[in-house]
Amino acid sequence: QVQLQESGPGLVKPSQTLSLTCTVSGGSITANNYYWNWVRQSPGKGLEWIGYIVYSGITDYSPTLKSRASISRDTSKNQFFLHLGSVTPEDTGAYYCARSWYSSFFESWGQGTQVTVSA
């Protein structure tokens, strides 16, 4: 079965770029028909989809974050990445990577990683 694991700094200063890695095992990020997503959750705000990179390398983003978010991948390491620029304390939260069948339901999740934006 596929497993996903988030990693990256837990503390980021305002105006800097938040960078996270999702390491995937048990399945290839280039396998047909799968989308690889970033999702976040903040207290009292619920779950928010950030964006995805598909098996072909095409990306898409939430309209509210499109101007600041970038998703990329390293197929040789079976990893994909999130870069969220110009962060503010409002970007504080738990960040998850997740696999979906096309752009439908999330079938597999990482455990999540807490990111705090603070000076």
Looking at residue 5, the DSSP 8-state letter turns out to be E
Q: Do 22 and 108 touch, CB atoms closer than 8 A?
A: no
Summarised one tens digit per residue, pLDDT across range 53-105 is: 999 999 999 999 999 999 999 999 999 999 999 999 999 999 999 999 987 89
Summarised one tens digit per residue, pLDDT across range 26-63 is: 999 999 999 999 999 998 789 999 999 999 999 999 99
Cβ–Cβ contacts within 10 Å for residue 101, how many? 12
State the pLDDT confidence band at 9, using cuts at 50, 70 and 90.
very high
pLDDT score at 104: 84
Looking at residue 73, the DSSP 8-state letter turns out to be E
